[in-house]
Amino acid sequence: IFGVCYPPCLALLVLGIIGRFMPNNGAYKGSVYLVTLFALLESLPGLSSLGFAKAIVTATPLSAYGFGWIIPFIIGLIGGSIIGHFVSAADPVEAEAK
């Protein structure tokens, strides 16, 4: 259970510290979703015995030290902020209503 909960909690901790620099909520969502997916692939026995899951986990830098979630965190942060920028730009009426 800790193997699945630990990386997303650390990602939220880092996001809380650097939160004032986040451009939108998509950065939060993208990074936490991707870190949670990586933690599930890494920790759950049913998933970690699959070939593609092992390949992903072993190819990720720092995974031997327990910090393999950092690369998915950075990718999710950048990808989520880009997607969040385009989604918020597409809905200006909802943004004005808030």
Per-residue model confidence as pLDDT tens digits over 19-68: 888 878 888 999 999 999 999 888 876 666 677 778 888 888 888 888 88
Best CA proximity match to 15, nearest among 33, 6, 7, 27: 27
DSSP for residue 19: G
Res 77 pLDDT > 90: yes
- Model pTM score: 0.79
Q: Read off the pLDDT band of 8 (50, 70, 90).
A: very high
Three-state DSSP at 18 gives coil
Q: Give the amino acid at 78.
A: I
Cβ burial of 8 (10 Å; 0-12, 13-18, 19+) is buried
Best CA proximity match to 41, nearest among 62, 65, 58: 58
**CA–CA distances in Å: residue 90 to residues 30, 60, 87:** 18, 34, 5
